[in-house]
Amino acid sequence: MATFKDFRNDVKPNWCPGCGDFSVQAAIQRAAANVGYEPNELAVVSGIGCSGRISGYINSYGFHGIHGRALPIAQGLKMANRDLKVIASGGDGDGFAIGMGHTIHAIRRNIDITYVVMDNQIYGLTKGQTSPRSAAGFVTKSTPGGAIEPSLKPLEVALTAGATFVAQGFSTEIKELTALIEAGLNHKGFSFINVFSPCVTYNKVNTYDWFKENLTKVADIEGYDSSNREQAMQAVMQSEGLLTGIIYQDTETTSYQEKVSGYSEIPLTDIDISLTEEQFDKLTKEFM
């Protein structure tokens, strides 16, 4: 059985010292080992941004896609090889700006993949511009007078779009974060996991200390029921989204693959698609 170390490779991350993404990487590696995956059973697909590099830092199949397109690639992988365990990953800019359309539709489809968003409320790779997650008044190079738009609320969006698994973690709470990713990997359907992953270089507002002072664990809310969608939405709205833990989980709704008529039990990757010369000639004649 694979261990945490088996999901390591020799590629050294070039994130800034103190970046929250280091912990997210470790949590993914630990979770994959804890649920019993082997490196050749896992694929990590990422987009563009500092967080997009994560697919190259984990010893598994990896695909570094283009900006905002991690989810369509991940969905295609899962449909082509139903036996492959697929994690999509990216930042708040990748998933909630250019990739927002893909995020909404992946959620509502409920394809059996896990999506981990590293949310630092800023564009880090391009040197510190406002992202969809930056709060109103946030001062950056692109908003020197302060952002005039309100911050996007990812947990509310996910719940509204019909997500069957919604969780949120904090990169310093690696034990809890690992458990959240494990739960997401074991969930039959689309797992949305937002992770507060502070940018120590460009975001001097949403710091580690700021999150420690403002976050609340759902486990500390008396009577909280993560299977109650209405209660989950109410808790998210009352806390301004500053909750950690499994916010909501629906174990009754079937995944996309289970609804597809005629979806082969044999992965496409294992099907012999070679053609005889006769079959090839017949096909080409149709286009002549």
Residue-wise pLDDT tens digits, 152-204: 999 999 999 999 999 999 999 999 999 999 999 999 999 999 999 999 999 99
Q: In sequence order, what DSSP letters do the residues of 60-101 get, joined into one string? A: SEEEE--TT-HHHHHHHHHHH-TTSEEEEEEEHHIIIIITHH
At 265 the pLDDT is 86
At 288 the pLDDT is 81
Residue-wise pLDDT tens digits, 17-27: 999 999 999 99
Write down the mean pLDDT value for the chain.
95
Provide the residue ranges of all domains of the chain, joining segments of one domain with +: 4-263
The CATH fold of domain 4-263: Rossmann fold (3.40.50)
**Residue 146 backbone phi and psi in degrees, to 5:** 95, 140
From residue 105, alpha-carbon distances to 2, 12, 70, 256 in Å are: 33, 34, 13, 12
Are 132 and 143 in contact, with CB atoms under 8 Å apart? no
Helix (H, G, I), strand (E, B) or coil at 217: strand
At 284 the pLDDT is 93
At 264 the pLDDT is 85
Could you give the angle at which helices 174-186 and 21-34 cross, rounded to 10 degrees? 50
Residue-wise pLDDT tens digits, 174-183: 999 999 999 9
223 pLDDT tier (thresholds 50, 70, 90): very high
At 34 the pLDDT is 97
Arithmetic mean of pLDDT, 208-229 = 97
CA–CA distance, 277 with 37 (Å, rounded to integer): 40
254 pLDDT tier (thresholds 50, 70, 90): very high
At 270 the pLDDT is 86
Closest among 155, 133, 135 to 146, alpha carbons compared: 135
CA–CA distance, 206 with 202 (Å, rounded to integer): 10
Arithmetic mean of pLDDT, 58-68 = 94
**Does the pTM exceed 0.75?**
yes
CA–CA distance, 53 with 9 (Å, rounded to integer): 13
Arithmetic mean of pLDDT, 107-111 = 96
Residue-wise pLDDT tens digits, 96-108: 999 999 999 999 9
Q: Which two tokens stand for residue 131?
A: 């992202």
Provide, rounded to the nearest whole percent, the portion of the chain with pLDDT above 70. Answer: 100
At 266 the pLDDT is 87
Residue with tokens 């700021």: 210
pLDDT surpasses 90 at 269: no
Contact residues for 88 (Cβ-Cβ < 8 A; gap 6+): 44, 45, 46, 70, 71, 73, 74, 106, 113, 114, 115, 116
